A and B are shown apart, each in its own frame.
Chain A
Amino acid sequence: MNTDWQTWTALGVVIVTAGLFVLRAMRKKKGGCSSCGGANAPIPKH
């Protein structure tokens, strides 16, 4: 029984962590640059 709750809790921590990573990646994609202060200066096409 003791092992059971540890197994499920550990699994829960892993799943939540994986979910947070996915959310973070998605939020970055949507939001774009969050730190460049609008001074984004792409390299012009050659």
Chain B
Amino acid sequence: MPAAAPASDLRTDKATRESVFALVGNPNCGKSTIFNALTGLKQKVANYPGVTVEKREGTCFNQHGKRIHLIDLPGTYSLNVHSPDEAVVRDVLLGRRADTPRPDAVILITDASNIERNLYLATQVLELGLPTLLVLNMTDVAEAKQWRIDVGKLSQRLGVSVVPMQATFGKGLVELKAAMSKLGSADFQPVSSNVHPARPSASGNELEARSPSQAGSLCHLPIPPDILGGLQQTRADLIRSGTVSENVSLLEPLYLISDHDPAHYGIEDSLVNRLAAAHDVLEKKLPGWEDRLAASRYEAVEKLLLDVLRRPERDESTTTDRLDSVFLHPIWGGVCMAAIMLAVFYMIFSVAEGPMDWIDKITGSTSGWIEANMPAGDLRDLIANGIIVGVGGIVKFLPQILMLFFLIGMMEDTGYMARVAFIMDKFMGRVGLNGRSFVPFFSSYACAVPGIMATRTIASPKDRLITILIAPLASCSARLPVYTLMIAAMFPANGVSTLQKASLMLSMYVLGTGGAFAFAWLFNSTMAKGRSSLMVLEMPTYKRPSLRHVARYMLERAKMFLVRAGTVILGLSILLWAAKTYPKPGTPEPADTAAKVAYRSSQLSHSFAGRAGHFIEPVIKPLGFDWKIGIGLISSFAAREFFVSTMGIIYAVEDDGDDNVEPLKQKLAEDRWPDGRPIFTPLACLSLMVFYVFAMQCLSTVAVVKRETNGWKWPIFQIAYMTAAAWLASFVVYQGGRLLGF
């Protein structure tokens, strides 16, 4: 299957290109599901808003076999944008993006169970004058609420084709493709509007042009005359000042001068002042004009639905309502969340244990086979003790990763994750963040990179920056191997229950989350200035999870994990092997076993890696870490999980032919300080886990923060504060523990 191409890769020529259709709709109405169904691609889908934060493109074929270029746009409630991702929708639809042609047609996706609110965006999209097709998705959810929507009448009133769908189950896809064929054909008459100067009326007033059939329809809104006049004047002023071109409709000035956009996202710096001035002039002349315009849109939607939507006088209690009475309960909601999270970690440990052992055995026997069948030398050492130990040490965590993402996928697809966001909003509100920060923060539990990109849904630049700064504190999946190894090293004897291990693991996630909130509060009350945005979080209905979506999500993450193991971790393993092997001592290795151990220990200590570890040992010794752990801390700056590989390579556990966490765990337990004390005491292991909770240790995250904040200032600050926090927290744990007698 091809991957979705980033938009910048797709250059098209107006004369020769295929038709371009844009998928537009509110957040969480099923756009990406429909995009995937049409294109066969694998964009991430989930049952909560804000999953798509940038446009994605793909191709599909209509019923006549004609190629169509599809653009999946981020969800938005309105073209009056609030955040960077919404600005993408506005700019693509207005044809303001140099890298994307203006769509030839729009497929407007609506959630049938929230039709009133969804049609608000429809009023704005229909005004654009582009051929439009309306998809009424999630009709099953509307039917469950006993809502009856007269599709024929809706189509007649809107002047566009309407296709009912249940995209999750693939229902309505054939009808959609048929409608798309018609949408692209020459006999389709695009809707007209009262805001396009290119279509003058017989009376000569270009802004009052309307056909009788369209009177009262949503594509021809009764914009209050004074606002219409004001917008005309603004448009003329902006054309005169060269801010917009002469052929723009009234819509471009309308959305560009919107007061909703907190930072003028997607607008060139040189135009911002002119647009802000134009807004101020209009606001002075017509105070509250934007609110009045919004009210007139809602009024039009309400009128239209009078004879289109039939629903019970009072909505009956649905399954969602009943479940929410527990999951969103002030007390039981929190209890359920804690129980579900504990169950997740319990399953990660218990279900993954067997397959992890199998991978252990395969890795161990492969390494042993090479040792037995290849003559001794550097290449054999590199393969057996560098590559296989390094890469195998990471790959063995694949079952845990699969389990983690399967459970996350289930929670996302059912809609439970949005409830977690709602519960967490209470805490987030106290530290100055809002509900929109939750989705990016939550995404960071998988990986901080998409989490930081998801901050584009946050309207307030201040909230967005703070969320970017705290996102890497969410314990990402790369920390999982480190935590697992340290928990194994803490309890080398098998006398500890899986529940206890799961609880310890969960406590690390709680610590990271608590730390993130504490830093958000600190940043909010000290360094960042700016206006906070209001909490905007839509509660989706609970749905039966689609195993196909969950499996796809899980396999995508597994693929990423394995690709990373086969590229970055492989490369780092080779380099670390070299760093611990060179420079070589001048004398040959002795044959005597005891002398050989001493020789190898001395060789490691004097290698490049050993010297680096010794160099930082004075700084990390107060945390309970020796120079070998120091090598792990340095090498894992590129990727956290590489710490596990480093320990495997450093401790060279390949000799017994069964070299994985179990033997590594034993090696760690046996290692001593020069004075004979054990290094990996439970307290030192806990200190190391706490260090990894707070430390940045990820080059990919640094790169994405640099890109999203447009400079090095914030990534450098982030590395500095997280490293300082990691050191301090470890110091408190280790020294505090020692004072308490541990």
Give, as a whole number of angstroms, the nearest-CB distance from A28 to chain B.
7
Whether, in the assembled complex, A33 has its beta carbon less than 8 Å from a beta carbon of chain B, the answer is yes
B258-283 residues with Cβ-Cβ distance < 8 A to A are: 263-266
- Contact call A34/B6, Cβ cutoff below 8 A: yes
B369-413 residues with Cβ-Cβ distance < 8 A to A are: 375-382
Whether, in the assembled complex, B208 has its beta carbon less than 8 Å from a beta carbon of chain A, the answer is no
B85 contacts which chain A residues (CB < 8 A)? Answer: 39, 41
Chain B contact surface mostly: helix
B714 contacts which chain A residues (CB < 8 A)? Answer: 43
Q: How long is the Cα–Cα vector from A2 to B376 in the complex, in angstroms?
A: 9
Q: How long is the Cα–Cα vector from A21 to B570 in the complex, in angstroms?
A: 11
A17 contacts which chain B residues (CB < 8 A)? Answer: 571, 574-575
Given known A-B contacts A17-B574, A35-B6, A6 and B377 have beta carbons under 8 A apart: yes
Chain A interface, number of residues (Cβ within 8 angstroms): 29
Whether, in the assembled complex, A30 has its beta carbon less than 8 Å from a beta carbon of chain B, the answer is no
A6 contacts which chain B residues (CB < 8 A)? Answer: 375, 377-380
Contact with B along A9-32 (1 / 0, CB 8 A): 111011001101100000010001
Q: How long is the Cα–Cα vector from A42 to B57 in the complex, in angstroms?
A: 22
Whether, in the assembled complex, B84 has its beta carbon less than 8 Å from a beta carbon of chain A, the answer is yes
Given known A-B contacts A17-B574, A20-B571, A37-B6, A43 and B465 have beta carbons under 8 A apart: yes
Which of B227-235, B313-321, B427-435, B703-711 forms contacts with chain A?
B703-711
Given known A-B contacts A38-B7, A46-B530, A33 and B55 have beta carbons under 8 A apart: no
Q: How long is the Cα–Cα vector from A41 to B264 in the complex, in angstroms?
A: 11
A9 contacts which chain B residues (CB < 8 A)? Answer: 378-379
Q: How long is the Cα–Cα vector from A39 to B578 in the complex, in angstroms?
A: 40
Chain A residue with Cβ nearest B376: A3
A20 contacts which chain B residues (CB < 8 A)? Answer: 571
Whether, in the assembled complex, B56 has its beta carbon less than 8 Å from a beta carbon of chain A, the answer is yes
Whether, in the assembled complex, B97 has its beta carbon less than 8 Å from a beta carbon of chain A, the answer is yes
A42 contacts which chain B residues (CB < 8 A)? Answer: 707-710
Whether, in the assembled complex, B99 has its beta carbon less than 8 Å from a beta carbon of chain A, the answer is yes
Q: How long is the Cα–Cα vector from A13 to B710 in the complex, in angstroms?
A: 36
Contact of A44 among B88, B453, B461 (CB under 8 A): B461
Give, as a whole number of angstroms, the nearest-CB distance from A10 to chain B.
4
B1-45 residues with Cβ-Cβ distance < 8 A to A are: 6-8
B352-383 residues with Cβ-Cβ distance < 8 A to A are: 375-382
Chain B residue with Cβ nearest A41: B84
- Contact call B574/A13, Cβ cutoff below 8 A: yes
Contact of B461 among A34, A35, A43 (CB under 8 A): A43
- Contact call B375/A2, Cβ cutoff below 8 A: yes
- Contact call B707/A33, Cβ cutoff below 8 A: yes
- Looking at A9, A11, A28, A36, the one whose CB has the most chain B CB atoms below 10 A away is A36
- Contact call A43/B708, Cβ cutoff below 8 A: yes
Give, as a whole number of angstroms, the nearest-CB distance from A6 to chain B.
3
**Interface on A for B, CB 8 Å cutoff?**
2-3, 5-7, 9-11, 13-14, 17-18, 20-21, 28, 32-44, 46
12 new A-B contacts, CB < 8 A, other than A2-B375, A6-B380, A46-B462, are: A18-B575, A35-B6, A36-B8, A36-B453, A36-B707, A37-B57, A38-B97, A38-B100, A39-B53, A39-B55, A43-B461, A43-B710
* Pairs A-B, 10 closest by C-beta atoms: A6-B377, A42-B710, A41-B84, A37-B7, A39-B54, A10-B378, A6-B379, A37-B6, A14-B578, A38-B8
